[in-house]
């Protein structure tokens, strides 16, 4: 890695962390597209890198601030965490067998639909 790559990755991490902490999204919305567009990763590599990053307690500080303010529903956390692990395993098994181009299109369509729904809802 050269200094430009290191600085780029640092910037992507800071922006992804900020967006994740402030809006609840980061990996899929910031990090995956940034790794594809700025570092030339395949969609599979970007998704795998983003998911692997989340294995570490990177969201702990953001979650802690929400916890301090009383914004954490522990019953939901437990159910979501268990099912998210199962869904993550199954989803990754499916996606590694989809072509990179198709996966990139599915990813883009999902972001577009989500964004439009947020913008157009009351």
Question: 57 pLDDT exceeds 70?
Answer: no
Helix-strand-coil split of the chain, %, nearest 5: 80, 0, 20
- Helix 3-23, helix 60-68: angle, nearest 10: 20
pLDDT-derived band at 56 (thresholds 50, 70, 90) equals low
- Percent of the chain at pLDDT > 90 equals 25
**Two tokens, residue 27:** 């990996």
For residues 87-119, one letter each, b for 16 or more C-beta atoms within 10 angstroms of the residue's C-beta and e for the rest, the string is eeeeeeeebeeeebeebbeebeeeeeeeeeeee
Structural domain spans, the chain: 3-120
Question: 59 pLDDT exceeds 80?
Answer: no
What is the H or E stretch that residue 104 is in? helix 100-120
Question: 29 pLDDT exceeds 70?
Answer: yes
Render pLDDT for 97-117 as a digit per residue (tens, 0 to 9).
Answer: 999 999 899 988 988 998 898
What's the rounded Cα separation, in Å, for the pair 60 and 37? 28
User: Between vectors from CA 26 to CA 103 and to CA 28, what angle results, nearest 5°?
Assistant: 5
Lowest mean pLDDT among 30-34, 57-61, 98-102, 118-122: 57-61
Mean pLDDT of the chain: 86
Question: 2 pLDDT exceeds 90?
Answer: yes
User: Between vectors from CA 89 to CA 104 and to CA 37, what angle results, nearest 5°?
Assistant: 25
């Amino acid at each position: 890695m050269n200094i430009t790559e290191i600085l780029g990755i640092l910037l992507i991490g800071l922006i992804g962390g900020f967006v994740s902490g402030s809006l609840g999204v980061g990996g899929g919305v910031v990090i995956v597209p940034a790794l594809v567009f700025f570092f030339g990763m395949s969609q599979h590599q970007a998704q795998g890198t983003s998911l692997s990053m989340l294995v570490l307690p990177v969201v702990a500080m953001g979650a802690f601030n929400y916890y301090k303010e009383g914004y954490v529903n522990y019953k939901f956390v437990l159910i979501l965490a268990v099912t998210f692990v199962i869904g993550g395993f199954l989803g990754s098994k499916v996606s590694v067998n989809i072509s990179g181009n198709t996966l990139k299109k599915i990813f883009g369509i999902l972001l577009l639909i989500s964004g439009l729904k947020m913008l157009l809802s009351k």
